[in-house]
Amino acid sequence: MPSLRDIRTPALVLERGILTRNIAVMAARMQPHGVALRPHLKTAKCAQVAKLATAGQFGGITVSTLAEAAYFAGHGFRDITYAVGIVPAKLGAVAELQRDGTIVRLLTDDVTVAEALAVRATALGTTFHVCVEIDTGGQRGGGAPESDALLGIARRVHESPALCLDGVLTHAGQSYATPGAEAARAVAATERAGVVRAAERLRAAGLPCPVVSAGSTPTAVHATSLAGVTEMRPGNFMFFDLTQVGLGSCTVNDVAVSVLASVIGHTSDGNRALVDAGSLALSADTSANAHLPGVGFGIVGDLWGRPLDGAAAFPLASPRTAPPAASPAPGYLAARIARVHQEHGFIESMTPLPLDALPVGTRVRILPNHACITAAMYDAYHVVDGSDEIVALWPRARGW
Ligand code: PLP
């Protein structure tokens, strides 16, 4: 069996045991709410992960690109929500994907698009399933739950024999701006209230609304009530990352993906080790620092994810609150990627780095700030299960 000691770096590593635990925990969270899980595969983009995430569920998934839709349809997934606002130019490709009975559910918040959907569905000899996108505070796609436009769009969809009005969909992306469980709970309540209100308005107007779809990882983790919601679409929860640690969605021990890198040298001041993982291997996303000041471009551990310097480099206690910027918890900062160039990363530490213990060729593992973006840099996961032995290679979908 190949080992993490042998493969070319940088490489993306996935801990199978953590992945399956994260999936089981989310399934157990949804169960008492009686809400279906339609996991978002934008993070994983991988059929093997999708099969684990949908096991015991109804089988529906969410995607963020048509390339993902085609990839997952090719792996037998037949109920797919494409959760990015549709443009008419993509409808030919959607119709093609639906030829074998797959449903690729579409999203719009625009009445002119609803009209184009009706015309194109008839011309293409297909039926498009449509959700109206609702903004519940994220200020991205969607209209307000109380907007006049909502009923106009929904009615236009419902009136077309070539369209099927499935319901309403929202994603409270503002859940990422609010560290801590209490704030996430409040966003989850706002997300639920907004999307349920939109559904009630449709029904009061005599329109069908079987699907009331919501969710992000922080709101799915922290929601106390999901009454009226029919499905949740978290995606990042399968892997988690340092951003989710900072938000209080998980602990560092729940992060399932890491980047394997090699030490390629030391800076001449003797303070920093260089690795072959820079912005293209880790991404330049520094979002976790908003909640965990000082984690830089990722926390660095040894080949097995243990602290580099023997200190508690990975905070093992549940870090529900971010360390204050003025007195950063040494645990977070014992070893981190402080700076990146395209193919270089600089390991720095609050405590002296044991550079003699990090000779050129030493392998380290870096926990990412934002797993969705970091994973997007790779063609495959090197799957391990608590050791450095690679138990599987799982490909990822790429493209748009
Ligand atoms: N639904 C939509 C529309 C999204 O855009 C996203 C993520 O961007 C999700 C669900 C999943 O949220 P998360 O990444 O927090 O799991």
Whole-angstrom distance, CA of residue 109 vs CA of residue 154: 9
CB 201 within 8 A of CB 150: yes
Specify whether the CB–CB gap between 233 and 370 falls below 8 A.
no
Pocket probe mutation, ligand 1, options 25, 42, 68, max atoms within 8 Å of Cβ: 42
**Amino acid, single-letter form, for residue 380:** A
With the most atoms of ligand 1 within 8 angstroms of its CB, the residue from 171, 176, 243, 244 to mutate is: 171
**Distance from the CA of 29 to the center of ligand 1, in angstroms?**
17
The single-letter code of the amino acid at 207 is L
Number of C-beta neighbours around residue 154 at 10 A: 25
Our separate counts of H helices and E strands in the chain read: 12, 17
Asked if residue 10 has a cis previous peptide bond (ω within 30° of 0), the answer is: yes
Which residue, chain included where needed, has tokens 């009331």? 212
Residue in the block written with tokens 């720095």: 348
- To which H or E segment does residue 211 belong? strand 211-214
Nearest to 213 by CA among 131, 94, 155, 128: 131
Return the SS3 of 275. strand
Ligand 1 centroid to residue 276 C-alpha, Å: 30
Q: What lines the ligand 1 site, CB under 6 Å?
A: 40, 62, 83, 171, 215-217, 233-237
Provide CB contacts within 8 A for 66, sequence distance 6+: 82, 90, 93, 94, 97, 104, 400
**271 CA to centre of ligand 1 in angstroms:** 39
> If you measure from the C-alpha of residue 124 to the centroid of ligand 1, how many angstroms do you get, rounded to a whole number?
30
Q: What is the pLDDT of residue 333?
A: 53
Q: Which of 233, 238, 245, 373 for a ligand 1 pocket mutation test, highest count of atoms within 8 Å of Cβ?
A: 233
d(CA 110, CA 142): 9
pLDDT per residue, tens digit, the chain (400 aa), is 799 999 999 999 999 999 999 999 999 999 999 999 999 999 999 999 999 999 999 999 999 999 999 999 999 999 999 999 999 999 999 999 999 999 999 999 999 999 999 999 999 999 999 999 999 999 999 999 999 999 999 999 999 999 999 999 999 999 999 778 899 999 999 999 999 999 999 999 999 999 999 999 999 999 999 999 999 999 999 999 999 999 999 988 899 999 999 999 999 888 899 999 999 999 999 999 988 888 899 999 888 877 675 444 444 333 333 333 333 344 445 689 999 999 999 998 877 777 888 899 999 999 999 999 999 999 999 999 989 999 999 999 999 9
pLDDT of 365: 94
